[in-house]
Structure 1
Amino acid sequence: MKAIKNILVAATLLIAVQANAQTDKETTIKVINNQHYVFNATSAMPMANNDVNRVLSRMPGGAGGGMIQLSGSQYQLIVTKDSVESYLPYYGRAYTATMNPDDAGIKFKSKKFTYKAEKKKKGSWLISMNFKDTKDTQSMILNVSENGYATLSVNSNNRQSITFNGFISEPKEKKK
């Protein structure tokens, strides 16, 4: 299991390195230190199994249990000092069904959570969040490069893990 996770993280980082920078280094450092940023998901990678592969191969552009492009979407994770708000899709196997079909994705707002940001070698960050007031999602691990590219791993008791690729940015000011 740990080897699969390491392979997924390595593959994600290789893909992210090939693209252009999303944010400059100063902005990345500032938003992480202030704990005030938005993770914008651009693709999702569900854990592959036969059931998921069958469904994904029927989707437009789907070649089986690989990456699902989320371009044109507004899927994001908003992190502030006092809350974490998630609006992300979910692809994969759920071990318990939800009673409300609107709860199909990874949607929640948490005010009771632990947050740990650790600076790694070469300027990257490893951010772990554990939630105490959400019914499904237990933890998230966010790996952020110094250019703002990020990989988000979502772990749950009731669903298979899923990984998202994307970038972090400063939150946009709300219009009054």
Structure 2
Amino acid sequence: MKSLYIITVIVAITFLSCKSASSKVTDEQIKALETLVENKNFTIESNWAFPRTTAAMQRVLNSGMLPSGSSTGAINLIGNSNFLTISGDSITSYLPYYGERYTNVAYGGTDGPIQLKGVVENYTVSKGKQHSYIISFDAKTKSERFNISMTLYPSLKSYVKLLGNSRSPISYSGHVEDSD
């Protein structure tokens, strides 16, 4: 019984030490992220899309139309062209959209992806937990407005949430890099 206790303690210490080693952030990473945010000149490329899980999304999954490794709540974007670029006060994006539309569908269905191009409004930056930055702003396409919130981490990972006025919400995770 005593040997089982010792083995359990050793395994627990091993897992805890692995977790703490992977979560340390260097001063260089913190400074690099700070520079990206201050310069307002970065591009995010997403690896995963997280649409709201609905019955319609379940039907799409059942049809076999989603990429391999995807589910109704997490869609693999690796190999699919996508980006969101902030350059000063301007934004451009091409983000594949998975979810439900409510209204304002353009004739011919040409507004499937989220294609933002223009000036951002109400741009705010705040510090988050673990040396992250939270950036929020509004942007629009030709036919709809979006409220966008992104969290950027020192490891250069990103998490972006988009809330549109005519679509169900969607989030993306990926990585951020300097646009230059």
- TM-score per shorter chain, which class? 0.7 to 0.9
2:60 counterpart SS class: helix
Match of 1:45 among 50, 53, 57: 50
Counterpart in 2 of 1:11?
Answer: none
CA contact (8 A) 2:42 2:86 kept: yes
Counterpart in 2 of 1:84?
Answer: 91
Bigger relative CO (Cα 8 Å, ≥ 6 apart): 1
CA contact (8 A) 1:113 1:133 kept: no
Matches of 1:30 and 1:79 in 2, distance apart? 14
Matches of 2:90 and 2:70 in 1, distance apart? 37
Matches of 1:65 and 1:24 in 2, distance apart? 34
Q: TM-score, normalised by structure 1?
A: 0.78
CA offset digits 1:26-72 (Å, max 9, x no partner): 32211111111001111101100111111023234366412111112
Dislocated runs of 4+, deviation >6 Å: none
Consecutive unaligned residues in structure 1, runs of 5 or more: 1-16
Q: Which has the larger radius of gyration?
A: 2
Counterpart in 2 of 1:66?
Answer: 73
* Pair 1:93 & 2:100 matched: yes
CA offset digits 1:9-42 (Å, max 9, x no partner): xxxxxxxx89xxxx93332211111111001111
Q: TM-score, normalised by structure 2?
A: 0.76
Counterpart in 2 of 1:30?
Answer: 35
Deviation at 1:100, TM superposition (A): 3.7
Q: Which one is further off, 27-36 or 61-70?
A: 61-70
CA contact (8 A) 1:106 1:137 kept: no
Consecutive unaligned residues in structure 2, runs of 5 or more: 1-21
| Cα-Cα RMSD | 2.2
1:37 counterpart SS class: strand
Instruction: Specify the code of the residue in structure 2 equivalent to 1:49.
Output: T
* Pair 1:56 & 2:64 matched: no
Q: Which one is further off, 43-52 or 25-34?
A: 25-34
Match of 1:121 among 129, 140, 148: 129
* Pair 1:138 & 2:137 matched: no
**Aligned-residue identity in percent:** 26
Matches of 1:132 and 1:101 in 2, distance apart? 17
Deviation at 1:112, TM superposition (A): 4.7
